[in-house]
Structures are given as C-alpha cells and as structure tokens.
Structure 1
C-alpha cells in the first residue's frame, strides 16, 4: 500500500492519501481572535484548499471530528458548517468538547474524504 503525504509541518503532514481516501489533519484558524463561527469559516476555507490538493472536495467527505473549547458556542460552529456543506453532503460527524486547543483556538477540525 502506498501512502502519499503532503504539506509537511514540524509535527505532521496536513494531508495523507491512501487507498482512495484523503485524510486532513487537525486544522485551526489563522486568526484565533475571531469568534467560533469566524474561526470555523476560516478553517473550512483552508480545508477546501487541502482537499483540492489531494484531488477531492467537500462533496466527498465521509467523516469529520470537530473539537471545540466551548460547547455553549457550538451553534456558531454548526451555522458555518451547514452553510459550507449542502444537506446531501453532510458526513458522519462527532463534536467533542475539549479544555484547550492552545493559542486562542476555539475549534479544530479533522476530515476524511474519498478522492475524486
């Protein structure tokens, strides 16, 4: 089995592809001063780019894990999420409350998609 890796960071690769799947590692917003909804919008735009680099797009998502530091603000994240995805393309998803993501990040998203 061949694994292709792309966009190396000091601790991981942003994208791994294997067996027809693209795996996008944990992604946070560049501007962590934004509220949760704004951070989510930035993250989703970044994920669009990562998916394109892997030869796929948001319509091929099969799963998502979302980590948020304040579950009382989850509706902000959900609003950005559902504005980004058509109802027929909503993947299996889990949202998990966490104590801290570091650096002011309020949300971090991990996704898996089929390659186009």
Structure 2
C-alpha cells in the first residue's frame, strides 16, 4: 500500500494520494477579499494541487464547500459554475460554518480520481 503526501506540514498535508484517489485539504483564498476573489483563488489552488497529483478538475469526484454565511451561496456558485467543465460536475455539498479565521468566507475540499 503506497500513500504519497504532498506539501506536508506538521498538522496536515495539502494532498494525499492513495489507491488512484487524491484527497485535498480544505483550500482557502486570500483573506479580506470578496467571496468571488476567494473562490477564484481556491479553485486555482485546487487546479494546481490536482495537476501535481496527476489529476484535473474533470476527475473531481466530490466537493465539500463551506461558507461563513449562506447569503454568499449565489456569489460563490457564479464562480463555481463557470469553473466546472460541462458534464463533469462532481457530487457536492455546501453548508455554513465558522471558518478558521473571520477574514475567510469560503473553504473548499475536493476528492478526485488520479
């Protein structure tokens, strides 16, 4: 059994690859930015991490999205919907949560096939 970890820190790895699947840590964007900008930043980070793992956004299996306030749902979805390739929408959940810092409004976690 091989487990490959990328961008390993003391607390977590940004990506873990096992058995043809890549698991990404929750990604956040630039603090004190708009929901649109934070979502764009996050999706760029996700694309980069997936590429490092030998995957891409067409292979995302599941996404979990946390918003600090569900009033941001439409603004985040406008960015998300433009980013997800047609015909490749993953299973997805979106909920409201208190995020690690009050300056953060969006956090996205994805799991993808390699």
TM-score by length of 2: 0.95
CA contact (8 A) 1:101 1:107 kept: no
Please report the RMSD computed on the Cα atoms of aligned residues, expressed in angstroms: 1.0
Structure 2 residue aligned with 1:88: 87
Looking at structure 1, the residues matched to 99 and 111 of structure 2 have their Cα atoms a distance apart, in angstroms, of: 23
1:32 is the counterpart of 2:12: no
TM-score by length of 1: 0.93
Name structure 1 gaps, 5 residues minimum: none
Looking at structure 2, the residues matched to 42 and 87 of structure 1 have their Cα atoms a distance apart, in angstroms, of: 21
Structure 1 residue aligned with 2:110: 111
Instruction: Detail structure 1 runs of 4+ shifted over 3 Å in the superposition.
Output: none
Looking at structure 1, the residues matched to 89 and 100 of structure 2 have their Cα atoms a distance apart, in angstroms, of: 25
Within 5 Å, give how 1:1-116 maps onto structure 2. Answer: 1-29=1-29, 31-115=30-114
Looking at structure 1, the residues matched to 16 and 99 of structure 2 have their Cα atoms a distance apart, in angstroms, of: 25
**Number of aligned pairs?**
114
Name structure 2 gaps, 5 residues minimum: none
